[in-house]
Amino acid sequence: MNSIQSLSKQFGNIAAVSGISFEVKKGEVFGLLGENGAGKTTTLRMLATMLKPTSGTATMAGWDIVKEPQKVRSSIGILFGGETGLYDRLTCEENIAYFGELNDMSRTQIKERIRELAKVFNMEDYLTRRAGKLSKGMKQKVAFARAIVHDPKMMSLLQDLMSVQ
């Protein structure tokens, strides 16, 4: 279960997030909606341990985001909207493997996992092509595969979509 408790983030005199609390149970799909500037991205960045909360905390997959950020990172898959952030000059498999290495996976584990993901996402044909030359959809699949290369326990994917009004 993910539990968010009175999470707040202050940027100077801007209160980006003011004491937000909610729970997301295992297997649940949870969406965060709000107008532009409401604090959605800031909330997700705190849950992904990319930003430290000003106050409050949260447990993600059972780990505290403030006290155990490394444990949180190894338990969640993060996929932000917009740019995929792939390294253009690396091949698809190199992009995915790099994140496997950052998650302390062995070469054998990485190889096996890429084979598995390539099959699921139907991307076997372009694994060895450079990411920069791929179509948008192909890039999105590689980015998705990269986000779950370490097989996150709770498969907590944080997909931050830009809202358009």
Distance in angstroms (rounded) separating the CA atoms of residues 32 and 41: 9
- The residues that bridge with 14 in the sheet, in sequence order, are 11
Residue among 19, 37, 85, 132 that touches ligand ATP (CB under 6 A):
37
Q: Which is nearer to ligand ATP, 11 or 87 (CB)?
A: 11
- Strand extents, DSSP E, 65-142: 76-80
**CB closer to ligand ATP out of 1 and 15:** 15
* Best CA proximity match to 64, nearest among 79, 50, 80, 49: 49
Name, in order, each residue with C-beta under 8 angstroms of 68's C-beta and a sequence gap of 6 or more.
none
CA distance from start to end of the chain: 32
Stretch of 41-49, 55-63, 129-137, 144-152 lying at the interface with Mg ion (CB under 5 A): 41-49
CB of 14 to ligand ATP, least distance (A): 5
Decide if residue 14 touches ligand ATP (CB under 6 A): yes
- What residue ranges bind Mg ion (CB under 5 A)? 40-41
- What residue ranges bind ligand ATP (CB under 6 A)? 11, 14, 16, 34, 36-42, 162-163
